[in-house]
Structure 1
Amino acid sequence: MEIVYHYATVLKAITDLREKGYTEDFNLTDNSITFNTGSFGEDEFEISDVYFYEGESDPDEKATVYGIESKFGHKGVLVTGNDAFPESVSRKIVDKLLVHRKDK
């Protein structure tokens, strides 16, 4: 059985993911997820952890934190605003992120 962790804040989720080896800082671009040494497309990564924050007590905490692993062995964290994706980002990447968020 998989253990699911819930964290009080976005920062605590990020800190725990870092301790689990998710060391890269991922960012969304038009057709890929990028990091300091490269990028990968929608078919080249899996989402292993998702933490969703509504920001009810703190509007700055309205975010989704993703633990992502590329098929090339890179592990990192992607933080997005809830449902706030730039229009330029690939619809396939957005759909993959949203589906995984709803599954958790």
Structure 2
Amino acid sequence: MQQDSSTDDMKTLAECLNKMVLKGYTEDFKAGERGLLSLHNERLYDVGDVNVVNFYRFEGASDPADNSILYVLETNDGTKGTLVDAYGPYSDPLVNDFMKQVEEMNKKGVHHDTAAAHR
């Protein structure tokens, strides 16, 4: 997972989210104890079902509570969307744990093909 350095026109979280939506990343995801939940189609994804396409960090000028990270994700069934979290001391432990597991799976090259399981 590599951070995109071409963020000239995406200086805020809102600008970046808007650009990702225009690129087709329209789903909103939420990490939970059972996995990654797609908020629109209400599907649940395991760590092996998720690929991190990119991520962007945003730092608050004066308040650490304004630090956030945007994950750009794609699932093995083609669902494309984003997951937003704070980073640093205010990060959500569920998001942090899930994304660490996804990163480890991506490093190992392990992914589940749930589309094949549903055929």
Pick the aligned partner of 2:100 from 95, 98, 101: 95
Q: Which has the higher helix share?
A: 2
What is the correspondence of 1:18-97 to structure 2 with a 5 Å cutoff?
18-35=21-38, 36-37=40-41, 38-57=43-62, 61-83=66-88, 84-86=91-93, 89=94, 93-96=98-101
Q: Which whole-Å CA distance do the structure 2 matches of 1:9 and 1:80 have between them?
A: 14
Cα drift, residue 31 of structure 1: 2.9
TM-score by length of 1: 0.76
RMSD, aligned α-carbons: 2.5
Deviant stretches of 4+, over 3 Å: 57-61, 96-99
For these two proteins, the number of residue pairs brought into alignment is 95
Stretches of structure 1 lacking an aligned partner (at least 5 in a row): 100-104
TM-score by length of 2: 0.68
Identity in percent:
23
Stretches of structure 2 lacking an aligned partner (at least 5 in a row): 105-119
